[in-house]
Chain A
């Protein structure tokens, strides 16, 4: 009984983590920038999703539309990636320490933007997941909302795979990731690709944030706490690998659920011990490439 519930919580966690870290990986894969802003985008998605849904309900919108409304508001919030990329562009080609720090300045700035718009109080969207009811399998009950979020993450994983591996746009993205200059010489508009990839990565983060809001409160601690977990996911999975994010998210999700149940204070420690073991044994993560 307990194990099944635990696994279920872990997988829900993993689904959200996967969405956010897939964005991180996409951006790192193409631009070689570790985007610390991912946590802030996640929080932005959560706050924005909450506000949009409140507005939607006030207009008399049906609560059954919770999931699509949240996904849409997440996609909308992700457009802020345009602005971030525009500024980040100034440090392309510079030392990676500066690029990393540039994203850190966005973490600082977003922190106050969120506080300015939504205030310091955490924000919670009532007990909404119950609109979808629960699924009873034998002696277990699962909230359907959480199942839908997991399904959405799987759909996103599939779409990303299709986009990157099967479409012509994906070929150009992969070529840019492999060798930006050469891709440019062959006629790819790498400037546009960079922008596109960054906004897509941002949208993954904001959608991830919007989807957790019915189950967790949006708070100002979100961005920095999420980075801690997201970082572990990308390191375990291997920087730049979306497959890695998938597996890494599941590993971190399970670890987190296990330690929260059995040794609550060891949560971060257990995750990061695994990170160190992975880095020492396989420095480039489970699916990473050596020359990153």
Chain B
């Protein structure tokens, strides 16, 4: 019940946003939604499963490139079809490399995922014909539910139909995740994070549970990547670099690790933070790094953790 109320509050904020903020800021919100979708998936693996992947930017890029290749090379403009292909491609890749990566946990898992991420990154450079090499591929405007919106300007399309589409997509994927984490599957995943051996003694197939979480996280990231590619209008190799994976983890920690609303809170705060810092100083990376360091030291449960603590303190 609490989750539903909180979700409705978040939804109301996003519904009100385009009317309150105007087109410029609304175009900024679409990447927020894209990251929120992707990170909701990564949070399942990292927050609930305790597996730190340093390679999930790869799945983000798979989604982005699926949308770009479908739209630009194959002429399939229907965004629904692009999403399905993105999910299938990413799910397949995740199913394959998950078999290898999940043989390990802790730092070795992080390293293997990083290694696969790097291979994918160089693949994007190498296979120029398919991926456009260093400059990537630009993404043509997709059609949504069969409507092409050809008469609209680019901004009007993004802040209009595409914004609502992305918001709808986020809502569906968020609620689905709420069901997943509260299901027996979600419980098993968390139990495996807290004590792998005890959990397997209780008869939980820890590997299988993690494997499913890995695939799900890959699929979520691909959906986020496809939305991201449309909103920035291009898919380029930078999306899959290891620093991008680092940023994704950063956003989750900023919002609140292993908490359902962590990714959306993190994505909003990260974007606001980065935008403010970039507007005010050339050295925004330094400020960003320092803030992350402070969060790690003083507020390991992120902004949500701080809010929870403040609420509990007031109640006393």
The interface of chain A, by Cβ under 8 A from chain B, is 34, 87, 90-91, 94, 96-98, 100-102, 104-109, 111-113, 115-116, 224, 227-228, 231-232, 235, 239, 265-269, 272-273, 275-276, 279-280, 283-284, 292
A94: nearest residue on chain B (CB-CB)? B300
Tell me how far the C-beta of A181 lies from the nearest C-beta in chain B, rounded to whole angstroms. Answer: 20
Residues of A within 8 Å of B283, CB to CB, are 112, 115-116
B198: interface (CB < 8 Å): no
A228: nearest residue on chain B (CB-CB)? B118
Contact residues of A: prevailing secondary structure: helix
Residues of A within 8 Å of B300, CB to CB, are 94, 98
Tell me how far the C-beta of B153 lies from the nearest C-beta in chain A, rounded to whole angstroms. Answer: 35
Known contacts A106-B289, A268-B122, A273-B119; is A101 also within 8 Å of B112 by CB? no
The interface of chain B, by Cβ under 8 A from chain A, is 46, 52, 54, 100, 103-104, 106-108, 110-112, 114-116, 118-119, 121-123, 125-126, 241-243, 246, 249-250, 253, 283-286, 288-290, 292-293, 296-297, 300
Q: Are B293 and A276 in contact (CB under 8 A)?
A: no
Sort A-B residue pairs by CB-CB distance and give the 8 closest, nearest first: A108-B289, A112-B286, A109-B289, A269-B122, A105-B293, A105-B289, A268-B122, A97-B52
Q: Are B119 and A269 in contact (CB under 8 A)?
A: yes
Residues of B within 8 Å of A272, CB to CB, are 115-116, 118-119, 122
Which of B107, B119, B297 has a CB less than 8 Å from the CB of A276? Answer: B119
Known contacts A104-B246, A267-B122, A269-B119; is A109 also within 8 Å of B285 by CB? yes
Give the CA-CA distance A211 to B134 in the complex, in Å.
30
Q: Are A97 and B46 in contact (CB under 8 A)?
A: yes
A-B contact pairs, 15 of them (CB 8 A): A90-B297, A96-B106, A97-B52, A100-B110, A101-B253, A105-B296, A109-B285, A112-B284, A239-B107, A269-B118, A272-B118, A279-B100, A284-B108, A292-B107, A292-B108
Give the CA-CA distance A267 to B118 in the complex, in Å.
11
Tell me how far the C-beta of A148 lies from the nearest C-beta in chain B, rounded to whole angstroms. Answer: 32
B52: nearest residue on chain A (CB-CB)? A97
Q: Are B118 and A108 in contact (CB under 8 A)?
A: no
Tell me how far the C-beta of A97 lies from the nearest C-beta in chain B, rounded to whole angstroms. Answer: 4
Residues of A within 8 Å of B118, CB to CB, are 228, 268-269, 272
Among A106, A116, A268, max chain B CB count under 10 A is at: A268
Give the CA-CA distance A48 to B142 in the complex, in Å.
50
Which of A34, A97, A224, A276 has a CB less than 8 Å from the CB of B115? Answer: A276
Q: Are B296 and A102 in contact (CB under 8 A)?
A: yes
Q: Are B111 and A101 in contact (CB under 8 A)?
A: no
Tell me how far the C-beta of B125 lies from the nearest C-beta in chain A, rounded to whole angstroms. Answer: 6
Known contacts A116-B283, A279-B112; is A100 also within 8 Å of B52 by CB? yes
Residues of A within 8 Å of B296, CB to CB, are 91, 98, 101-102, 105
Tell me how far the C-beta of B246 lies from the nearest C-beta in chain A, rounded to whole angstroms. Answer: 5
